[in-house]
């Protein structure tokens, strides 16, 4: 598999039908992604029956384009109204919304579009030439490696957002507690289900996310109904400058690499990549104190990471038949509906399909850059809509999104409870980011640890024989001790300076 296969795929992709479907999927993905509570995975699931009437390449190209654009679209409402349209955009709201409040919505949207497009293109280019090798690396991960990776993610809770590490750790514990709700697959024990059948499979991530962001923000805005609302003037909206790009280029490159790697790991996806991308952007920033207050790196980091994860997620999906994310799992179903069996043989026997999908993703990433930049000012006008019209609409969409997930009223109640809890926690200085991180990693920590202990015959020393796991444990230790190390170095440097 190499350039000959690539050349074979190009004529397939130049088909006008394929190009038209990619354009349609890109526009639809941006619109769906921008709607709070709706996601690209939901839209792809709705499109699956219609894809039966298309050939495999056009059908999967349409779904892949919607996947890429939907990931970017979630940043629009995350920036404008603090209601992420998709879970991977949750981290974008941490700095994107404060920028919008300061009258820099267009700048934030432009940075989001550029970072998203470059991150997505980076991952697709890497996959075009290194997909087989990267697939083998991801396939080598077992439960011990996943447990170590999750521990590394949890080690970031203290510094992921806010200025109170203890509160962040408490928030992470709350997320972990929520993740334990449901039936334990290892023992069959029911935990915190209260005899509610809908809770046996656990609490879904999306209703909690909608509640913590959209409903919490709705309640916060309700306090300010009698006050003069800060609106964004169109004349104040501007796209990112060359100086902005120079400032965020290293962040984009670093987050693109992180997102591609995390996306390749089966079942991870863009949400975790965005969280890690945001944390690393803050860690490497010269002004970490500005994060959470409108730092442009806080927008570029998670957006580059979560869009890079879309390309990475397609590697195990196509090469191994293991979905790299929830949306990739839906695309995997689309492949099966088309009568295809994803696996390593695709790289040798169907290069046209494989590279046709990657080129569809490449074109989609380029297209939504144009759509995002050209429509930045138009999107910014959403924030000019009166709150008496905007937030009731958002609230209705939240109900639709929460209910539409499983057509269950329990999910609506979960959304409302999460919103009320988020509002109370916000008043006492707690950030939603650690709660989300704990919830995302909770099931992975529990499942991978149980499987690892079975593999090791209940002997913890088994982790010492797993080099990749040891690397992640070392990174976790460095992450936890980084604050103390910095403080110690600061005291040493101050003493040496005072002595001098």
pLDDT tens string 276-319: 888 888 888 878 878 888 888 888 888 998 888 888 887 777 76
CB within 8 Å of 454: residues ≥ 6 apart: none
Asked whether residue 124 is domain-assigned, the answer is yes
User: Is the predicted pLDDT of residue 236 greater than 50, yes or no?
Assistant: no
Least confident segment among 49-63, 164-178, 206-220, 320-334 = 320-334
Report pLDDT digits (tens) over 432-447: 767 877 776 777 788 8
178: burial class by Cβ within 10 Å (0-12, 13-18, 19+)?
A: buried
Least confident segment among 27-41, 220-234, 342-356, 406-420 = 220-234
Share of the chain above pLDDT 90, in %: 1
137: burial class by Cβ within 10 Å (0-12, 13-18, 19+)?
A: middle
Report pLDDT digits (tens) over 107-145: 888 888 888 888 889 888 877 776 666 556 656 777 888
Report pLDDT digits (tens) over 333-390: 677 667 776 665 666 666 667 777 777 888 888 887 887 777 656 655 554 556 677 6
CA distance 147 to 155: 12
CA distance 215 to 484: 36
Total structural domains in the chain? 1
333: burial class by Cβ within 10 Å (0-12, 13-18, 19+)?
A: middle
Please indicate whether residue 212 or residue 389 has the higher confidence score (pLDDT). 212
Reported confidence tier of residue 233, pLDDT bands at 50, 70, 90: very low
Please indicate whether residue 3 or residue 96 has the higher confidence score (pLDDT). 96
Asked whether residue 235 is domain-assigned, the answer is no
416: burial class by Cβ within 10 Å (0-12, 13-18, 19+)?
A: middle
Q: Which of 217-226, 402-411, 417-426 has the highest mean pLDDT?
A: 417-426
CA distance 101 to 81: 9
Phi, psi of 95 (to 5 degrees): -115, -25
In the numeric block, the tokens 């999104």 are attached to 401
Asked whether residue 67 is domain-assigned, the answer is yes
**How many residues are there in the chain?**
500
Asked whether residue 191 is domain-assigned, the answer is yes
Query: Helices (H) and strands (E) in the chain — how many of each?
Result: 21, 2
CB 441 within 8 A of CB 153: yes
User: Is the predicted pLDDT of residue 448 greater than 60, yes or no?
Assistant: yes
| Residue 247, both tokens | 């400032």
Q: What is the pLDDT of residue 237?
A: 42
Beta pairing class for 190-191 and 182-183: antiparallel
CB within 8 Å of 398: residues ≥ 6 apart: 36, 37, 83, 210, 211, 214, 215, 415
Reduced to 3 states, what is the DSSP secondary structure of residue 191?
Answer: strand
In 35-164, alpha helices (H): 40-51, 56-81, 93-101, 105-139, 143-154
Reported confidence tier of residue 417, pLDDT bands at 50, 70, 90: very high
Q: What is the pLDDT of residue 164?
A: 66
3-state helix, strand, coil in the chain (%, to 5): 75, 0, 20
Name the helix (H) or strand (E) containing 456. none
CB within 8 Å of 116: residues ≥ 6 apart: 71, 72, 75, 303, 304, 306, 307, 365, 368, 369, 372
| Residue ranges making up the domain that contains 430 | 3-230+240-499
């Amino acid at each position: 598999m190499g350039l000959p296969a690539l050349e074979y795929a190009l004529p397939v992709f130049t088909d006008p039908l394929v190009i038209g479907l990619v354009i349609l999927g890109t526009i639809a993905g941006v619109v769906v992604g921008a709607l709070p509570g709706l996601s690209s995975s939901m839209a792809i699931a709705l499109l699956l029956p219609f894809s039966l009437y298309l050939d495999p390449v056009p059908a999967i190209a349409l779904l892949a384009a919607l996947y890429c654009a939907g990931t970017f679209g979630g940043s629009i409402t995350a920036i404008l109204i603090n209601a992420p349209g998709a879970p991977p955009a949750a981290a974008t709201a941490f700095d994107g919304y404060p920028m919008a409040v300061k009258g820099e919505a267009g700048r934030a949207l432009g940075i989001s579009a550029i970072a998203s497009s470059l991150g997505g293109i980076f991952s697709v280019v890497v996959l075009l030439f290194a997909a087989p090798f990267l697939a083998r690396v991801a396939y080598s991960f077992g439960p011990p490696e996943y447990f170590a990776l999750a521990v590394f993610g949890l080690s970031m809770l203290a510094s992921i957002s806010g200025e109170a590490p203890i509160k962040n750790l408490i928030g992470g514990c709350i997320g972990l507690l929520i993740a334990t709700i449901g039936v334990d697959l290892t023992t069959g024990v029911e935990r915190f289900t209260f005899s509610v059948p809908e809770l046996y499979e656990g609490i879904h991530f999306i209703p909690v996310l909608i509640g913590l962001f959209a409903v919490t923000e709705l309640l916060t805005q309700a306090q300010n109904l009698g006050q003069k609302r800060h609106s964004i003037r169109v004349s104040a909206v501007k796209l990112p400058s060359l100086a902005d790009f120079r400032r965020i280029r290293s962040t984009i490159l670093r987050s693109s690499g992180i997102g591609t790697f995390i996306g390749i790991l089966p079942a991870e996806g863009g949400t975790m990549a965005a969280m890690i991308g945001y944390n690393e952007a803050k860690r490497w920033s010269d002004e970490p104190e500005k994060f959470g207050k409108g730092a442009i790196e806080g927008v570029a980091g998670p957006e580059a990471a979560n869009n890079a994860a879309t390309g990475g997620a397609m590697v195990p999906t196509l090469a191994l038949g293991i979905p790299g994310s929830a949306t990739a799992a839906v695309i995997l179903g689309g492949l099966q509906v088309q009568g295809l069996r994803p696996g390593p043989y695709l790289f040798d026997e169907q290069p046209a399909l494989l590279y046709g999908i990657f080129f569809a993703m490449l074109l989609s990433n380029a297209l939504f850059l144009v759509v995002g930049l050209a429509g930045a000012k138009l999107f910014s006008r959403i924030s000019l809509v009166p709150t008496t019209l905007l937030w009731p609409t958002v609230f209705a969409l939240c109900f639709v999104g929460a209910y539409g997930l499983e057509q269950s009223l329990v999910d609506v109640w979960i959304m409302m409870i999460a919103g009320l809890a988020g509002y109370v926690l916000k008043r006492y200085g707690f950030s939603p980011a650690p709660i989300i991180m704990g919830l995302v990693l909770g099931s992975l920590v529990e499942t991978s640890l149980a499987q690892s202990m079975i593999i090791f015959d209940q002997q913890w020393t088994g982790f010492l024989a797993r080099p990749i796991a040891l690397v992640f444990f070392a990174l976790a230790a460095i992450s936890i001790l980084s604050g103390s190390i910095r403080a110690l170095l600061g005291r040493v440097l101050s003493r040496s300076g005072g002595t001098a």
